[in-house]
Amino acid sequence: MKKVFMQEAIRLSIQRMRQGQGGPFGAVVVRKGKIIGRGWNQVTSSNDPTAHAEVVAIREACRRLGKFQLDDCELYTSCEPCPMCLSAMYWARLKKVWYANTRKDAAEIDFDDDFIYTEVARPIEDRKLPMRQYMRKEALVAFKEWQEKADKIRY
């Protein structure tokens, strides 16, 4: 069955790219042998830099299941995930991820995410994107209230 699921991810990547909807990436989320989420790159067609195929597929699967964790699901993607998508996969608690093209293959066609992998590993003060802490004391109010909130939903 996994061949069928990867073929669908690849089909989406080709079809939607040809339709001008974004880059050549597709993904599907599978649960109990059925596709429950489909995604393709929609960055340029939706003007959303987070609309990568994997994120779109995860969002659809979560919406269909009515839950925010996909711990009994697998994801098939046409390319090794970028750092953002990889993080989304961890947050979704996916059981397993299958990928076709590598991040090196993507870099060869100008989708190079290695700089993000490098940046994330650096100390905050050494990153190219300036980040400065501001108003921590005021922001801690929400954290303290969350900590004491009796009806919170943990994730």
Q: Is 54 a catalytic residue?
A: yes
Please name which of 105, 94, 82 lies closest in space to residue 58, comparing C-alpha atoms.
Answer: 94
Candidate list 8, 54, 74, 138, residue with the active-site label: 54
Is residue 136 classed as helix, strand or coil in its secondary structure? helix
Q: What is the DSSP string of 87-123?
A: HHHHHHT-SEEEEEE-HHHHHTTT---HHHHHHHHS-
Per DSSP, 67 falls in state S
Tokens 């069955």 correspond to what residue?
1
Q: Say if CB 41 and CB 25 are below 8 A apart.
A: yes
Which residues are annotated as catalytic? 54
